[in-house]
Structure 1
Amino acid sequence: MPDCAPPLAQITPPSQALPANACDSHFHVFGPAAVFPYADDRPYTPPDAPFEQLRALHQRLGFRRGVIVHPGCHGYDMSVTLDALDRGEGQYRAVALLEPDVDEARIAELDRRGVRAVRFNFVAHLANAGWDELERIAPRIAPFGWHVCIHSDQASLLGLLPRLRTLPVPFVIDHMGRVAAAEGTGGEAFRALLALRGHPGAWIKISGLDRASSTGARPFRDAEPLMAALLETMPDRLLWGTDWPHPNVRGDMPDDGELLNTFLRLCPDPAMQRQVLVDNPDRLYRFAP
């Protein structure tokens, strides 16, 4: 039985058309479990959220491109994500979970299929990887132009950032580091995020307003100042994503259209919108022309 709520069936329409080739840079595909079984040792059990449902969401919101973040509930079995890449008509890329002993041949195969990164969790309620594992894998993915995707939180972020700066590959911080919105833009963890400005390998996803929100109440306005500060400070290093279908939500279930409209309101400049939604993901994930 699922222990996560499903995404909203009805969402708010987008307030405007998105730029051509706009990219949703963070979402998941779950199952269907009858075709792509969940891992026996999974940290959570979501309801099915298959590729067809994801494509319908993107058509509704106006996204042409996307980046699938392979979920922990499917473990190291990449079948569900590779199937989505194969069906995505070249418009999708992916972030993988890799076994600690992964070899170059496997990385090369995944690269050909559209994978561009590997994810590591440093959040207490998930099946966490150790830093030693990350350090072993990073040199193996470097020749392929991949990066590491870091899922951190308020408790882990400050300890991770100095280490991430030493890696031989770029790194992406998911969901604004899941810092606590209650601490505001002057909080120590958030100031450390802003200090990544100018680092040549650092990227931040301005996704997961609900993950940063200290109230958990839609539309998560308490987390908006964090997004606004990042847009003001380092728009050339930002990515935006829905985080659909929002696994392990503890407060209100996000409305994906509402989340998109919040971004568009906080980022009204068309050139900056194109930078965050098109140019930055194109640079990092290497979409085909």
Structure 2
Amino acid sequence: MAKPPRIAGPVALPRRPRIAPPPGAVDAHAHLFGPEARFPYAEGRGYTPPDAPVEAYLALLDRLGLARGLLVQGNAHGFDNAVLLDALERAPDRLRAIAITDTRIAPETLRDWHRLGMRGLRFHEHMAPPGYVRGVGLEALPHFRGVMRDLGWVVQVFCDHRRLPAIAADLAAIAEEMPVVIDHMLAVPAAQGIADPGFQALLRLVGEGLAHVKLSGAYRLSDRFPDYPDARPFHDALLAANPERLLWGTDWPHTSIPAAIMPDDGALLDLFQDWTPRAEDRARILVETPSRLFW
């Protein structure tokens, strides 16, 4: 099998943000990769990342003035969450994590992971070619639902915007038992505009308090590097809908983004703060909501 293409790594030394984030601020979406010699990459992955180990991530938090981080299992490691479990053991006060796994794992295993700092499972509602490891869909949730409910875990969903209207009612039902978190503002192409049916379904869920959304990955909506102005209407609409259901994350190390347009993490934090002008909203999004959900 041909080795998947190697992708670019993140900006090595991002700028420091112009505005210091509030004390206790959380990066609510980042990934770890490798080192490959210790944590091999999965067969069937869509890309081969350069190593982005926990030491580099903790240094990023320090540089940006962020207290803590939420790690999310990355596609390159498939269903082997060892890289996250290792990081949680090494930095238990600063890190929490979201796993990806399938039903070969016994639900009771989640209790062991919880003691280390795992706080949820991520589900993918995307189309993927055969053999491509891209997580599991919500059809796997019943296997874990009882234990996740008992532990107060989060159901995190990386969802195609075209798929959300069909599953919105299911997510609302899940939200009666445990928090639901949607990734990357639903990654709606900016050209679709906020009238996109998927985004409108998302706004209803957020407005009714039935879903949380990560204000991350503006560069996954827009190709207008480096300030992504056409992504701002999505941010603004979510902020207006319900600031108590929002989180922010770097999405470090920015998988599958070409080196020439690799976002600077300090610039992304500045962009969030520019787009979120009220200090009380920034504190709620960066500190209060992630602390409630994950700590």
Q: TM-score, normalised by structure 2?
A: 0.91
Alignment RMSD, CA only? 1.8
Matched residue type, 2:214: K
Partner of 1:11: 14
Structure 1: how far apart are the matches of 2:38 and 2:195?
Answer: 47
Moved more, 89-98 or 119-128: 119-128
Amino acid at match of 2:215: I
- 1:232 maps to what in 2? 240
Check conservation: 2:108, 2:147, Cα contact below 8 A.
no
Deviation for aligned residue 1:266: 1.1
Give me the identity figure in percent. Answer: 40
Distance in 1, matches of 2:165 and 2:135, equals 17
In the alignment, is the contact (CA less than 8 A) between 1:28 and 1:243 conserved in 2? Answer: yes
* Partner in structure 2 of residue 152 of structure 1: 159
**Is 1:196–2:208 an aligned residue pair?**
no
Summarize the Cα distance change of 1:263–1:218 in structure 2 as closer, same or farther, 3 Å threshold: same
> Once the 2 structures are TM-superposed, how far is the Cα of residue 15 of structure 1 from its aligned partner?
1.1
Task: Find runs of 4+ consecutive structure 1 residues off by over 6 angstroms.
Answer: none
Q: Which runs of 5+ in 2 are unaligned?
A: none
Q: 1:247 aligns with which of 233, 255, 263?
A: 255
1 CA distance for matches of 2:142 and 2:167?
A: 12
Aligned partner of 1:74 in structure 2 is 77
Q: Match for residue 174 of structure 1?
A: 183
User: Relative to structure 2, which stretch is displaced further, 264-273 or 116-125?
Assistant: 116-125
Question: CA separation of 1:129/1:104 partners in 2, compared to 1, >3 Å: closer, same or farther?
Answer: closer
User: Which deviates more, 166-175 or 247-256?
Assistant: 247-256
Instruction: Provide the rounded CA distance (Å) in 1 between the counterparts of 2:13 and 2:172.
Output: 41
Q: 1:34 maps to what in 2?
A: 37
C-alpha distance in structure 1 between counterparts of 2:163 and 2:6, whole Å: 25
Deviations 1:33-67 (A, max 9, x none): 01111112323211111111111111111111110
* Equivalent position amino acid for 1:282 in 2: S
2:100–2:135 contact (8 Å) kept in structure 1: no
Name the CA distance, whole Å, in 1 between partners of 2:145 and 2:220: 27
Question: 1:51-130, aligned counterparts within 5 Å?
Answer: 51-125=54-128, 127-130=134-137
TM-score (norm 1): 0.92
Structure 1 letter corresponding to 2:70: V
| Distance in 2 between residues matched to 1:109 and 1:133, nearest whole Å | 19
Question: What SS does the aligned partner of 1:21 have?
Answer: coil
Structure 2 CA distance, aligned partners of 1:13 and 1:276? 20
Distance in 2 of aligned mates of 1:197 and 1:265: 22
Q: 2:148 aligns with which of 141, 151, 160?
A: 141
Residue 216 of structure 1, CA deviation: 5.1
**Partner AA of 1:226 in structure 2:** F
2:92–2:116 CA contact under 8 A, matched in 1 = no
Residue correspondences, number: 285
- Matched to 2:69, the amino acid is G
User: Structure 1: which 5+ residue stretches go unaligned?
Assistant: none
